[in-house]
A = this chain, B = another copy of it.
Amino acid sequence: MAIAFWEKATTMPDSGAPACSLCLFRHVCRIAGTDHAWQPLALHPDRFEVRTGEPVFRQGRPALTVYPLRHGSAKQIYESPLGWRQVTGFSLPGDVLGLEPHESPVYGTAAITLQDAEVCAVSVESLRELMQRPPLREAVLEVMRRNAERERVLLVAVGSMRAPQRLAMLLLDLAGEQARRDGNRDGMLTLAMSRTDIASLLGLTLETVSRLLSRFAAVGLISVRQRHLRIIDRDGLASVYADLDQAPRQADAGNSAGYGVVPGERRLA
């Protein structure tokens, strides 16, 4: 039998303190109040709450505001022109919802909360003003680059990795994010999203996700009970992800130019 989670709360834990310390705007925000070197530009963002399952904003609507997430979590949903919907990512406290790249005039995805959440609201005008300042500008661009990279990794995962690898990847990613936030590296994590959301993100079905979680647990990589999960064997998961014994699902993108690919030199997230 697995480790006893159920001694802890069975409802979604509300991580207590707001995530200002992780916020992109912490240095210019009166609420965060960590640094006041920027007085003239300081932000006093509005804050409000969004209940579980409610959208913070919807795809295609004018992108007038960005929403740093203080409490709770959210999923991004993209709907293609033909009406296919897919989860494209999850956000945790400290992330900024609605940061659209390329100065897009509309939101490229919808953001739906996964729990009751609290967000700040920063107008894009303030954002643009703030971005006159090189350090913040760089920080914002860096976040956008990371988001883009994330989507590319997801594309490759969905396009050429097997189901267990995809799921292992997600779990490692979630654990990494968790650790980056509360420094908590014991592998405990609470999945705010449903199996269906995970399945959508990874291009699988919820049954497959459920079965794989069970299988991972059976072989001692993790333990799961509902949405409470603990990573027991991080390296084991990493080797599932890295495919150390699993055949690739399809042909590699041709290396027809014949330029060498260094087989070593790979970093693990």
**A residues with CB within 8 A of B:** 53-55, 58, 77-88, 101-104, 108, 112, 141, 144-145, 148-149, 151-161, 194, 196-197, 199-200, 202-206, 241-243, 248, 250-259, 261, 263, 266-269
Contact = CB atoms under 8 A, between A and B. Distances in A.
Contacts of A160: 84, 86, 200, 203
30 contacts: A55-B259, A58-B259, A78-B155, A81-B269, A82-B242, A82-B268, A83-B261, A85-B156, A85-B252, A85-B253, A86-B155, A86-B156, A88-B155, A101-B101, A101-B102, A103-B141, A112-B257, A151-B152, A151-B155, A154-B155, A158-B203, A159-B200, A159-B203, A194-B254, A199-B251, A200-B253, A200-B254, A203-B250, A205-B251, A206-B251
A53 B266 contact: no
Nearest to A137: B103
A106 to B, nearest CB: 10
A148 to B, nearest CB: 6
Contacts of A155: 78, 86, 88, 151, 154-155, 158
B102 A152 contact: no
A78 B150 CA distance: 12
A139 to B, nearest CB: 12
Nearest to A250: B205
Given A81-B153, A84-B157, A101-B148, 16 more contacts: A53-B258, A82-B241, A82-B243, A82-B268, A85-B255, A85-B261, A86-B155, A101-B145, A108-B148, A108-B152, A155-B155, A158-B159, A159-B202, A200-B252, A200-B254, A206-B251
